[in-house]
Copies of this chain bind each other. A is one copy, B any other.
Amino acid sequence: MNTDKPESGAERLVHTLIEGGVDVCFANPGTSEMHFVGALDRISGMRCVLGLFEGIVTGAADGYYRVSGKPAATLLHLAPGLANGLANLHNAKKARSGIVNIVGDHATYHAPLASPLAGDVEAVARPMSNWVRTTCSADSLAGDAAEAVALARQSPGKIATLILPADISWCAAGEAAPVRSVAPRRAVRAEFVDAAAEALRRGGSNAILLLGDGAVRGKALSWAGAIAAATGCRLMAETHNACMERGAGRAPFSLVPYTQPVEAALKALAGTRDVVLAGARDPIAFFAYPGKPVKLLPADCNVCELASPEEDIEAALEAVARALGVRSAAGEGVAPLARPAVPTGPISHDGLGEVIAALLPEQCIVIDEAVTAGRSFYAKTRTTAPHDWISSMGAAIGFALPAAVGAAIAAPGRKVLALSGDGSAMYTPQALWSMAREGLDVTIVIFANRAYQILRGEFFNMGSGVPGARAEAMLTIGDPALDWQSLAKGCGVECGIARDLEEFARELRRGFASQGPYLVEVRM
């Protein structure tokens, strides 16, 4: 470091992030962020990844956290730039991902002038952040940044948004700030451990151990599997999870069925007498529908909250296991390795799932936004090679492709498989370019049914009957047909088409064999 010149605010910020372990930054900078960009030249240790749209930036930071467990930074430009990133921040916040957003703002003395780009950055940030602060002076910058990092690093993670006026970025920095300690998860509440153990022992196959986000991987999942093996209770998880460990060698669990409307979920949960919530919430319908219930458990079911999503779920499950006399989390009842043969014939939802199950690489990271096309994928892949399964927690569309960018950067040695509907993928297609630019090892599968197929079902579920011509025009996207081969090529990504299951298997093998991104368009 050049000691002749005092460090600028931007330099101090980059140093503070790196010292706090935040060493990847997804960025879409503008004028007010130029000093941050300049600081990257003078400070090593921060990997900066460019996105052409802010939804790529925030979605990538979410995907990065889900795989690495570490917060990334984002670099965003003023209120509109942050606004473009909000939908994927919504997903990240619901997934309890940790992210440090750095949002540049006008210089403190310029802000009152109401220039074209001026806006209320704090107000834009608040709905999708757990913590928002505008740094007011050079002296407070390092401390604010250290606080943001500590918050994002908490378990579960938090969305910390630090707003940085341009003049604080370019002026001489104040004092450095020490790395802050990170608050631990809240401890188990012992009084609930015995109640949970008792409920599961008593309930047997009429009891459900319902896993939330913190319980679907690692030791927590192993303890949960051991509890199920010991008591005969059913092991289920919430419909969507930030990152699930699945496949051979992991404890198998089913999901509360995606509820559109609610019949499948009501059926799956019927007859349940006891539910133990391990970081999960009392299951509810995704949407309300005319005349349908929104709570999914039977009215007479006993619900015991073992651990909230904020608590130490792994310790809670271990304590329950020990109360039940289980000695070790290892092994009993885990899924075997049993892949299906590669099916042939015309495209079908089941067939697509079987091809994926047959070919999935070991330790693959699957990112699932396949929507209607993917409804059977989860069940079909239960006993394939061990893998991670990531789904959108906030259901804001346009998640899979950006999250794949971040997942691939978090896990360079692993293959990422992004599954997306064609409608979903069109919210954030710019992610393809970042994949090509960074040479990321992502296979993207686009299920091109040329419709908002899910909404066709929802139109009916809502009691609107069969769509007429004007409604149908809002539910179909096939005129003109999106040409995914061209869209991929336009962003520098290689691609192929699958019109039947043989072609899907061939294209998926191609994607898995390639070193960079490869897009498979499945013509449904």
Contact = CB atoms under 8 A, between A and B. Distances in A.
A427 B52 contact: yes
A107 B290 CA distance: 9
Interface in A27-62: 27, 29-32, 34-35, 37-38, 40-42, 48, 50, 52-53, 55
A109 B484 CA distance: 41
Interface stretch (A15-23, A404-412, A461-469, A507-515): A461-469
A167 B110 contact: no
B170 A124 contact: no
A87 B80 contact: yes
Interface in A421-472: 423, 426-427, 429-430, 433, 436-437, 454-455, 458-459, 461-465, 467-471
A459 B37 CA distance: 8
A493 B473 CA distance: 19
Nearest to A486: B490
A465 B32 CA distance: 15
Given A38-B459, A127-B119, A294-B109, A50 B427 contact: no
A482 B477 contact: no
Given A41-B468, A94-B116, A395-B116, A474 B31 contact: no
Interface in A85-120: 86-87, 90-91, 94, 106-107, 109-110, 113-117, 119-120
B48 A470 contact: yes
Nearest to A55: B84
Given A83-B86, A123-B127, A474 B48 contact: yes
A492 interface: yes
Given A27-B474, A284-B115, A459-B34, A426 B436 contact: no
Contacts of A294: 107, 109-110, 113
A177 interface: no
A475 interface: yes
Interface residues of A, number: 102
A479 interface: yes
A82 to B, nearest CB: 9
Contacts of A459: 34, 37-38
Contacts of A79: 90, 127
A27 B126 CA distance: 26
Nearest to A125: B127
Contact of A38 (B83, B107, B286, B471): B471
A396 B455 contact: no
A269 to B, nearest CB: 16
A35 B458 CA distance: 10
Contacts of A123: 123, 126-127
A166 B288 contact: yes
Interface in A148-200: 166-167, 170
A491 interface: yes
Nearest to A31: B458
Contacts of A468: 41-42
A517 to B, nearest CB: 11
Given A84-B87, A469-B41, A116 B393 contact: yes
Nearest to A489: B486
Contacts of A458: 30-31, 34
Contacts of A41: 467-471
B117 A127 contact: no
A426 B52 contact: yes
A4 interface: no
A204 interface: no
17 contacts: A31-B260, A31-B458, A34-B455, A34-B464, A40-B471, A40-B474, A52-B477, A80-B86, A83-B87, A84-B427, A110-B294, A115-B287, A123-B126, A426-B430, A480-B492, A482-B491, A489-B490
Given A166-B288, A485-B490, 16 more contacts: A31-B461, A37-B459, A37-B467, A48-B474, A50-B477, A53-B398, A84-B86, A86-B86, A106-B288, A109-B294, A117-B287, A170-B463, A436-B480, A482-B490, A484-B490, A486-B490
